[in-house]
Homo-oligomer: A and B are copies of this chain.
């Protein structure tokens, strides 16, 4: 196993298995062909052909589109063709910079393969012998990646949310971190990837934050999503990312980016350093 395997794991999808999901003339997602066939049962909402699934142009505004798609999702979930809605609505658009064309329940985001955004916070501690990083263990009953290792703070965000505010809110909810500390987190980049998920496709962008955590702060589990926090030596974290799948799949790639930005992985020791950077950002 290697860093490249970790990166490949978030970039594995077959374009031939999906067709575009079009709203208001823009491709905002991708659906499996089987999902497209299921959506064809609702001709008032979706126009389905071999080339695309198109939201009916008669649904002219965000509220009408969101209600109609939500009703379909509930019907599909009831008959076992879709995940159960979670009761949390995400805005959907073709890019982060364009207004939401539709609101969609978080639970069915992969079913429609629309873009999803989140924040991931690397909480690290400078020790005399090097860096250490705060790592959480996900609850065994999480739907995604149960029991895997996770960041100190991570969470999804609704389209148009402030990334910085999301970090501060999730830091409180997940790690009991005071707002005055969480506000010191610095944005340091983003990673985007597309990979197949159980119910469809993930098209994710993660906004990455670093926080130099003072030695006197210890995170506490609060909302039940994380059951344990530990401060892990960076060399230990690196070995686990590289040699195991102990970390949640997308946390692994954010950690690789962290190792590179902090000089833990170096060009003089990693012969494929240029290729690693390109793979991380999707150019390879």
Given A187-B268, A277-B281, 9 more pairs with CB closer than 8 A: A96-B271, A162-B268, A163-B268, A187-B266, A190-B274, A190-B277, A192-B277, A281-B282, A282-B283
Judge whether B97 and A190 touch: CB under 8 Å. Answer: no
Q: Which chain B residues border A280 with CB–CB below 8 Å?
A: 281
Is there a chain B Cβ closer than 8 Å to A188's Cβ? Answer: yes
User: Which residues of chain A in 223-271 are interfacial with respect to chain B, using CB atoms and an 8 Å cutoff?
Assistant: 260-263, 266-268, 271
Q: Given contacts A96-B272, A96-B273, are A190 and B267 in contact (CB under 8 A)?
A: yes
Judge whether A186 and B273 touch: CB under 8 Å. Answer: no
Judge whether A260 and B97 touch: CB under 8 Å. Answer: no
Q: Which chain B residues border A190 with CB–CB below 8 Å?
A: 267, 273-274, 277
Q: Given contacts A162-B268, A267-B163, A278-B282, are A260 and B96 in contact (CB under 8 A)?
A: no
Which chain B residue has the least Cβ–Cβ distance from A276?
B190
Q: Given contacts A163-B267, A281-B283, A282-B283, are A274 and B205 in contact (CB under 8 A)?
A: yes
State the number of copies, please.
2
User: Which residues of chain A in 161-211 are interfacial with respect to chain B, using CB atoms and an 8 Å cutoff?
Assistant: 162-164, 186-192, 205, 207
Q: Which chain B residues border A164 with CB–CB below 8 Å?
A: 266, 268
- The interface on chain A, measured as residues whose beta carbon lies within 8 A of the other chain's beta carbons, has a size of 33
Q: Which chain B residues border A2 with CB–CB below 8 Å?
A: none
- A279 to B268 alpha-carbon distance, docked (Å): 26
| Chain B nearest Cβ from A100, distance in angstroms | 14
Judge whether A263 and B187 touch: CB under 8 Å. Answer: yes
Which chain B residue has the least Cβ–Cβ distance from A257?
B189
Q: Which chain B residues border A273 with CB–CB below 8 Å?
A: 96, 190, 207
Is there a chain B Cβ closer than 8 Å to A49's Cβ? Answer: no
* Subset of 28 A-B contacts with CB under 8 Å: A95-B272, A95-B274, A95-B275, A96-B267, A96-B274, A97-B275, A163-B266, A163-B268, A187-B260, A187-B263, A187-B266, A187-B268, A188-B260, A188-B261, A188-B262, A188-B263, A189-B260, A189-B261, A190-B267, A190-B273, A190-B274, A190-B277, A192-B277, A205-B274, A207-B267, A280-B281, A281-B283, A282-B283
